Chain A
């Protein structure tokens, strides 16, 4: 084996490298450089949830973005007028609760793990600290969130078009 590679392997943290690799694969963090991903990994907290464990409930004040690494999470919206509850199943690589990074507002859905699930949490104040120390990281994440918000608004506008047309 190349001795240089052996020394490098002895110094490099494989778990840290794996986390960085995972984050790089996500759309929201894909524009970040290697060192920036390193800072981001340090800003994340991780937690493993048991099957059925509630991550947060609708109405809880949101303060963190959740990134799903393994397992699955179900998002359940509060019952609508006809009593039905919309459900969304999230898979590894998905993220949710992202609007908490913009405003500390009540969550609009209940999130719970449907199997053993490993989540990474990016807390709002950690992102704020990153914005101050490493503005490129914050700008990249915020610009992605802005695009996401804009596309959702367009979708809502499109969904509401028939309603507006009927009222006119």
Chain B
């Protein structure tokens, strides 16, 4: 190793990353559409790259893709219009009655349960009142939780618009960044980019599969159970699956509440809960093994910790991006460790059989 080699400026990188993280924390509301647009472009980029590898121009591909997506969207809306409208109307007309019915049901069940519990009647009544009251409070607040997502829907036009430019110029941006990087650190920079891209890309693609499967299976399952508003409940559960474990919870709460209202028994809600737990188990046993080889390979507790920290710091956006952000941090740590061990000569093992003479 020569003496004039400069070590990797780890302190500088950590300081810059820290400053960037703080700036992001301060500006995250303003940066939200850009972050969502970057994620949007990142998800769609493999499709553009697939055709680009065949020698087609990126500009034509992106513009053509937008026109095609718009046409498909209009056609899909035309095809599903009656179903969407009927589900929306059904929800609008019945929504006020849902809560009243649920309350009535809950208090009827409460009287029966008070008798069955092996506790003094007053204590049993008090315990059930607080439990059922808490559950009803959650159901009551559900619309406001769903309404909290409305600001994100406001980005529905802005995100594809910004995403268009990300899709067009992302490769040039990366090459520009490499050009700006000091030549001595180009290999390290590409190493880092490559690790992040591999981990994140596979996670995002896996997530899309999970969301699509949960949406489709829960839609079919709810129809089989005869639950009203199957499309909306399946859509809520599918989209909520972007946040780990949230899709299952939303499916059980919203679907279960609908089933209780519609059929008037807790048994119907139990069937809906069984459906969503079953979907979750199928996802864990059949889908996850297929996409696991492409996932971030993070422990469930790490995921949970990332979700809690992300949610507490950045709200709903933090929940959505917590796991991929943890994946990026993991890639950063892994690359730093790899540099450290390489620089220190800790991983210079020779291949088996290298002692045999060349013949």
- Contacts from A to B (Cβ < 8 Å): 10-13, 16-17, 20, 35, 38-39, 41-42, 45-49, 53-64, 78, 104-106, 110, 121, 123, 125-126, 129, 153, 157
Q: Is the C-beta of B5 less than 8 angstroms from some C-beta in chain A?
A: yes
- Contacts from B to A (Cβ < 8 Å): 1-2, 4-5, 49, 52-58, 60, 174-175, 178-179, 183-184, 186-188, 190-191, 194-195, 198, 338-339, 342-343, 345, 347-348, 358
Measured CB to CB, the nearest residue on chain B to A53 is B183
Inter-chain contacts of B5 with A (CB < 8 A) = 57, 59-60
Other-chain residue from A38, A56, A123 in contact with B184 (beta carbon distance below 8 A): A56
Inter-chain contacts of B54 with A (CB < 8 A) = 35, 38
Alpha-carbon gap, A58 to B185, bound state (A): 14
Q: Can you identify 6 A-B contacts, CB atoms within 8 angstroms?
A: A16-B55, A41-B53, A42-B53, A47-B186, A59-B2, A121-B186
Alpha-carbon gap, A58 to B4, bound state (A): 10
Measured CB to CB, the nearest residue on chain A to B183 is A53
Other-chain residue from B4, B57, B194 in contact with A125 (beta carbon distance below 8 A): B194
In the complex, the answer to whether A62 meets B55 with C-beta atoms within 8 Å is no
Alpha-carbon gap, A57 to B187, bound state (A): 12
Alpha-carbon gap, A153 to B357, bound state (A): 11
Closest 6 pairs between A and B when the two form their complex, measured CB to CB: A59-B1, A38-B53, A61-B342, A13-B57, A125-B194, A59-B2
A101 → B minimal CB distance (Å): 12
Alpha-carbon gap, A60 to B342, bound state (A): 9
Inter-chain contacts of B187 with A (CB < 8 A) = 56, 60-64, 121, 123
Instruction: Choose among B58, B188, B191 the residue with the greatest number of A CB atoms under 10 Å from its CB.
Output: B191
A103 → B minimal CB distance (Å): 8
Q: A60-B5, A157-B358 are in contact. Are A129 and B198 (CB under 8 A)?
A: yes
Inter-chain contacts of B174 with A (CB < 8 A) = 45
In the complex, the answer to whether A46 meets B175 with C-beta atoms within 8 Å is yes
In the complex, the answer to whether B184 meets A20 with C-beta atoms within 8 Å is no
Q: A38-B52, A63-B187 are in contact. List 9 more A-B contacts (CB 8 A).
A: A11-B57, A11-B60, A13-B52, A16-B52, A47-B178, A63-B188, A78-B2, A104-B347, A125-B198
Alpha-carbon gap, A42 to B54, bound state (A): 10
Alpha-carbon gap, A57 to B8, bound state (A): 13
In the complex, the answer to whether A35 meets B53 with C-beta atoms within 8 Å is yes
In the complex, the answer to whether B55 meets A13 with C-beta atoms within 8 Å is yes
In the complex, the answer to whether B194 meets A123 with C-beta atoms within 8 Å is yes
Q: A11-B57, A38-B54, A46-B175 are in contact. Are A64 and B183 (CB under 8 A)?
A: no
Q: A38-B55, A123-B194 are in contact. Are A57 and B178 (CB under 8 A)?
A: no
Q: A59-B1, A60-B5, A64-B190 are in contact. Are A54 and B55 (CB under 8 A)?
A: no
Inter-chain contacts of B1 with A (CB < 8 A) = 58-59, 106
Alpha-carbon gap, A106 to B187, bound state (A): 13
Other-chain residue from B53, B56, B347, B358 in contact with A11 (beta carbon distance below 8 A): B56
In the complex, the answer to whether A125 meets B175 with C-beta atoms within 8 Å is no
Q: A10-B60, A57-B184, A63-B191 are in contact. Are A48 and B55 (CB under 8 A)?
A: no
A150 → B minimal CB distance (Å): 9
B168 → A minimal CB distance (Å): 13
Inter-chain contacts of B194 with A (CB < 8 A) = 123, 125-126
Alpha-carbon gap, A87 to B2, bound state (A): 17
Inter-chain contacts of B56 with A (CB < 8 A) = 11-13
Q: A17-B55, A59-B5 are in contact. Are A48 and B179 (CB under 8 A)?
A: yes
A16 → B minimal CB distance (Å): 5
Measured CB to CB, the nearest residue on chain B to A121 is B190
Alpha-carbon gap, A4 to B178, bound state (A): 38
B44 → A minimal CB distance (Å): 15
Inter-chain contacts of B348 with A (CB < 8 A) = 105
Q: A47-B178, A48-B179, A59-B5 are in contact. Are A125 and B55 (CB under 8 A)?
A: no
Alpha-carbon gap, A70 to B60, bound state (A): 29
Measured CB to CB, the nearest residue on chain A to B53 is A38
In the complex, the answer to whether A57 meets B4 with C-beta atoms within 8 Å is yes
Q: A12-B56, A35-B53, A45-B175 are in contact. Are A123 and B190 (CB under 8 A)?
A: yes
Inter-chain contacts of A157 with B (CB < 8 A) = 358
Instruction: Choose among A16, A49, A55, A129 the residue with the greatest number of B CB atoms under 10 Å from its CB.
Output: A16
